[in-house]
Amino acid sequence: MNTFQFDTSKRIVNEVGGLRHCPNLCKELGVKHVIIVSDKGLRQLGMVDELAHCLQNAGVSATVFDKTVADPPDSIVLEASAAAIESGADGVIGIGGGSSMDCAKLVSVLVKQQQSLSQMFGLNQITGTRAPLILIPTTAGTGSEVTPISIVTTGETTKAGIVSHHLLPDVALLDASLTLDLPAHITAATGIDAMVHAIEAYTSKIKKNPYSDMLAKQALLLLSSNIEKAVTTGKDLPARQQMMFGACLAGQAFANAPVGGVHALAYPLGGHFHIPHGLSNALVLPHVLRFNASHAASMYGELAAQIKPSASVSNPLSTSEDLAQYFEELLKICGLPTSLKALQIPKKDLTVLAQDAMLQERLLVNNPKHMHFDDALNIYEQAY
C-alpha cells in the first residue's frame, strides 16, 4: 500500500432540513456575528434571508454578502472580505454553489487580516489561522464543502487556485431541501460532474489511496442510483439528499486523489464557450474513458460494477465500454446536449481547445494514460 495523507472537513451534517442547526453550530464554534457569503440568485429564492433571520432569532448576528458570481474575480473576494471586516464578523457561512463556497473559504482567512490574498495563491501558502467556517452547498456537484481548494479569476479569463488544508471548513452541511428549485438540466450536469469526480479520483495516477477508492465507489453507487429520479422528479427529496451525500463523498475522494483528463479537457470548453462545468465534463467523459481504457480497464470495470442503471440498461455493467455507453445514455435520459456540435462550437476551434487542454498540466499528470495534443484533439473530434 502506498503511503498517503487524507484531509477532509471536520464535521459533516447530512440531514434534510439541516439548515435549522446553523445557530447552534455557530454557537458551538464560538461565533457571535456571522457573515453569510452567497449570490443574488439564491437570495432571490429567499433562503439566504431565511438563514439570516434564523440566526438572528437565536441571538447570532448576521450580515449578508450576496455579490458572489460564477468564477469569482479577486475583486469580489476582497469586497466580501472588506464587508466581513467592517461588520465585525467572527465567523463565515458560505451557502450556494462552488463559487460562493470558494469565496467564503477565502473570506474566513482574510477576515483575520494576517495575510493578503495575493500571498495565498498556490499550494500550502496560507499561514496563520482562519475564522470558524460552515459551508452549505445548494447543488449536488462540486463537493467544494469538502475540498481544500478555492478557484479565483485573476485576470480577464485567467483562473488561479489556492490550495490549503486551512480552507477545509469546520462543518459541511448537506441539506437537500435547498436543491428543490434546481432546474433538471442543472441537477443532471452537476450530478454527472460529481460522478466524474468519483471516477477520476479512483483512477488518479499519483495520489490514488484506499480512502478515496472507498468513497469513490460509494459515491458512484449513490449518484447512479438517484440521478434519474432527481432529474425527472425534481421534488424527490430522498433522491436529492442521496445525490447531495454522493457528491460530498466524491468531493472527499477527489480532494485527496485529484481529477485528470476529463477535467483537463472540460476546462477549455468553459473558458472559451462558457459551457457549464458539469456539461463540459459530461460531453468529453465517454471519449476520455475509451482513450484511457488500455491503461485503466480493471479500475473502470470495478467502477462499472457500482453503477445501478435504470431499466433502460438490462445487463450489469462490467467493462470500460459499458461505462462509456452508460454515460452516453445518461446524457440522453437527462435531456442534456449530446455533442459539442449541438452547442454550436465551431469545428475549427477544436485545435485551440486541444492546445489549451495541454496547458492543464496539474490535471493531466493524474490521468492514467499520458495524453498528447493529438489525443486531446481526437477526443474533442469524437465528442463533436
124 Cβ partners below 8 Å, 6+ apart? 163, 164, 165
The number of beta carbons lying within 10 Å of the beta carbon of residue 87 is 17
Cell 446524457 belongs to which residue? 331
Q: For residues 34 and 340, which CB has a smaller minimum distance to Fe ion in the complex?
A: 340
Give the neighbor-by-neighbor strand order of the sheet with 159-163: 122-123, 159-163, 149-153
C-beta atoms surrounding 115 within 10 Å:
14
- DSSP-based three-state secondary structure for 149: strand
**Minimal distance, residue 240 CB to Fe ion, in Å:** 19
Nearer to Fe ion, 92 or 189 (CB): 189
Decide whether 266 or 317 has the Cβ nearer to Fe ion: 266
Q: Nearest distance from residue 359's CB to Fe ion, in Å? A: 17
Q: Which three cell numbers stand for residue 85?
A: 471586516
Q: Report the C-alpha gap between 283 and 278 in whole angstroms.
A: 9
Q: Which residues of 154-175 are buried (b: 16+ CB within 10 A; e: fewer)?
A: eeeeeeeebbbebbbbbbbbbb
**Closest approach of Fe ion to the CB of residue 20, in Å:** 29
The single residue listed with the C-alpha cell 493578503 is: 116
Instruction: Lay out the site mask for Fe ion across 186-205 (x = CB under 5 A, - = otherwise).
Output: -------x------------
What span, in angstroms and rounded, lies between the C-alpha atoms of 215 and 103? Answer: 26
**Which residue, 193 or 322, is less far from Fe ion as judged by CB?**
193
Whole-angstrom Cα distance, residue 224 to residue 244? 12
Q: Please, which residue, 193 or 228, has the CB nearer to Fe ion?
A: 193
Q: Report in angstroms how near the CB of residue 160 gets to Fe ion at its nearest.
A: 17
Q: How far is the CB of 251 from Fe ion (least distance, A)?
A: 9
Q: Min. distance of Cβ 280 from Fe ion in angstroms?
A: 9
CB of 114 to Fe ion, least distance (A): 30
CA dihedral sign of residues 264, 104, 234, 221 = positive
Q: Are the beta carbons of 155 and 71 closer than 8 angstroms?
A: no
Smallest gap from Cβ 84 to Fe ion, in A, equals 27
* For Fe ion, the closer CB: 91 or 278: 278
What is the total residue count of the chain? 384
Nearer to Fe ion, 132 or 278 (CB): 278
- The three-state secondary structure class of 281 is helix
Number of residues that bind Fe ion (CB under 5 A): 1
Per-residue contact track with Fe ion, 110 to 149, x per CB under 5 A? ----------------------------------------
Q: Which residue number, 132 or 191, has a Cβ lying nearer to Fe ion?
A: 191
The residue type at 259: V
Give CA torsion, residues 215, 200, 384, 279, to 10 deg: 40
Q: How far is the CA of 212 from the CAs of 8, 12, 69, in angstroms? A: 11, 16, 30
* Residue tagged 478557484 (cell numbers): 151
- For residue 200, the minimal CB distance to Fe ion (Å) is 8
For residue 13, the cross-strand partners are: 173
Question: Taking CB positions, which residue lies at the least distance from Fe ion?
Answer: 193
Piece in contact with Fe ion (CB under 5 A), picked from 185-193, 227-235, 314-322, 344-352: 185-193
The verdict on 66 binding Fe ion (CB under 5 A) reads no
Which residue number, 208 or 277, has a Cβ lying nearer to Fe ion?
277
Nearer to Fe ion, 84 or 198 (CB): 198
Q: How far is CA 118 from CA 2, 75, 95, in A?
A: 34, 11, 24
Shortest Cβ 291–Fe ion spacing (Å): 18
Chain residues that interact with Fe ion, rule: CB under 5 A: 193
